[in-house]
Structures are given as structure tokens and as C-alpha cells.
Amino acid sequence: MTNILLLLLLTAVFLLPFILKEAEEGMEYFLFGAGLLAVTITACWSQKLIIETLLTPLKITAAVIVCGIIFEVFAGKIGPIVGRVSAKTGKPFFVLIMIIILGLFSSIFTAIISALILSEVMGHMNLPRKTEINIVILACFAIGMGAVLTPVGEPLSTIVTEKLSVEPFNAGFLFLFREFWIYSSVIIILLAAAGAIITACGNGNDEGLKEDKRGGFKSIAMRGFKVYLFIAGLVLLGAGYTPFVKTYVSGLPHYMLYWINMVSAVLDNATLAAAEISPAMSLLQIKSAMLGLIISGGMLIPGNIPNIICAGKLGIKPKEWAKFAVPAGLIILCFSFIAVIFVHL
């Protein structure tokens, strides 16, 4: 009965933001409520979980608020800089370089900072809204692919490096870089090229994305609260589904792990990695599971931290995100799966 309820809840988390306007506009509250329900269904409540739920969102929330204040102070200078540089290079080339830099260097200055920079830059690009949304989505895919390369890039890479630090992998700081750099770099370059093409082909008279900063510091504080609630909901969802994942997912063949990890589109990929990844797995299983988690995380707004930050700051709705991100994610998944199989033949 518990598993049936969890599957029904997961279906609701996937579908309701696209069906109910209330779930779409109040995504933070909806996910937090779903997380509370998931933990209650599986009876996973504990003092440790409550503390984790309260503390885990703090770093991300603090980064959003601090960077929001910095960008608010210097907002008048960022727009002209973006305008001058993109005018000299051409907007397609500017987008190409921006996605490559944010993707590759997110492993150093974190996915959070990369997403905040992306949001600020895109707020001054003055392209049609649809074009800008598609560029943001491609850049968020790239940030997710790059952040996995070091333990400081994002929580997923931190957790996996720690779990594989024992025999037989003895994972150190550069372990994930050695195993994933070829996948990450190729995909990031392809995403950047796609962004440049979309920029060059973009047309329309509709107004582009505008960062949600007109309310000043009050708006920044509210955005921080929403991010906090969003992350807390993902922590609860991940905890609620961990027993299910450990029982039915972790021991699957590499190809099944790859495709079943599409659930990371709505569940925290770091939590799923903590439940799935084990030193007892083969390297092929680990690579397949992680690539499935990383790529699928870009397909819906709840799937990855950069998505959450950019969608919140730029006012991108779940339907707008999914319309482009789901087919784009499926294409990347197919390409990456073929690459993994080819490399390990």
C-alpha cells in the first residue's frame, strides 16, 4: 500500500503543476507539502531529518540573498556591460561563450553562483522571451553537466565522491573529473552551439525575461524564502522516497539505472545519488546512474538547483520550462546513453 501511495504522489508531483494553476504558481508550497506527505507515508520522520530539512537549504538561500543584494547594488552597471560586449561579439557568439564558461567553470565556483550570474546576464539580453527561456534552459543543462566534475560544484558530486572514497575506487578530488570530463565537455559545447543557433534564429517582438528585482531588498528576501521552502521540500521528498529507491532501484542493471533516474526531474538528484551509489557497483553502473540523474535534472524546474534559481529570478513558469526542456533532455539522454555504451564496448 505504501508503494502505491508513493507512486501516486510521484505522479501528482509530475503532473499537477501542468494541470492546476495553483500548483504552478505556488510551486514552492506545493513541493513542500508533497515532501511532508511523502515522509508521512513512509513514516520516516526523525529528529535528524527535521534538522536536515531546516539546515540544508540555508547555504543555498544565503547565496541567493547575498548575490541578490550584490547584483541589486551593481545592477545599473551590469546591463551596459552585457550590452557592449554582446554588441561587439554578436549575441549568438556571446551566448556560445557564456554557456561554455558557465558550464565548464561551475565545477569551481559552484552551480549556484553560475545560475545567479546566468539570471543576471539574461535579464539584460533583450531577446524574445521564448528565445531567452530556451537559452536559460540550455545553460542550466550545461551548468549541471559541469558542476559534477569536482566535489565543490554541487551536492551530488560531493556525496558521490565521499561514498566512493573507499576501495575499490579510492575517489579523490579529481575522480569525477577523470571519469566524466569527456561527457561533460562534449555535451556543454553542443549545448552552447545550440544556444548560439537559437539566438541567431530567434525572432518576435515579445519582451524578454526580466529579473525579479524591482521590489528591491524586500523582493530579494521573498525570493530567498521561496528558495528555502523549495529546497526543504526536495529534502523531504528525497527522504520519503529513499527506502523505495534502495529496495527497488539500486541493484538494477546499468541501462535501467540510466533511464529510471529520469525521476530526478522532480526529486533531488543528490538524495537519489546518496541512496543509489555504492562502492559495490561497477564503474559502468555508476556512470550510467549519475548521467541519468544529471541530465534528467534539467528537464523540469524542481530537478536541479540552477533551474530553481533561474526560474524563480526570471519568472519562468513550469509549462514554459517543460515545453523545451523535456524534448531537449530526451535528446541529450539518448546521445549520452549511446556514448556510454560505445565507450564501454
Q: What confidence score (pLDDT) does residue 333 get?
A: 95
Q: What confidence score (pLDDT) does residue 258 get?
A: 93
Contacts of 326 (CB under 8 A, 6+ apart): 299, 300
Q: What confidence score (pLDDT) does residue 207 get?
A: 66
Q: What confidence score (pLDDT) does residue 204 get?
A: 62
Tens of pLDDT, residue by residue over 152-181, are 888 888 888 888 888 898 988 899 999 999
- The alpha carbon torsion through 260, 264, 269, 273 (nearest 10 deg) reads -10
Q: 166 in helix, strand or coil?
A: coil
Is there a contact between 16 and 23 (Cβ–Cβ < 8 Å)?
yes
Q: What confidence score (pLDDT) does residue 144 get?
A: 94
CA angle 182, 183, 184 (to 5 degrees): 95
Residue 340, C-alpha cell as written in the block = 556510454
Tens of pLDDT, residue by residue over 209-259, are 766 545 567 777 887 888 888 778 878 887 888 788 777 776 788 889 899
Phi-psi region of 278 (alpha: psi -120 to 50; beta: other; left: phi over 0): beta
Q: What confidence score (pLDDT) does residue 191 get?
A: 97
Residue 46, C-alpha cell as written in the block = 526523525
Q: 172 in helix, strand or coil?
A: coil
Kindly report whether the global pTM for this prediction surpasses the value 0.85: no
For the chain, what is the total number of helices (H) and then of strands (E)? 16, 0
Q: What confidence score (pLDDT) does residue 16 get?
A: 83
- Residue 281 gets which letter from DSSP? S
Residue 300, C-alpha cell as written in the block = 523540469
* Positions in the chain whose pLDDT score sits under 50: 213
Q: What confidence score (pLDDT) does residue 98 get?
A: 96
Domain boundary assignment for the chain: 34-343
Tens of pLDDT, residue by residue over 46-66, are 998 899 889 878 877 887 788
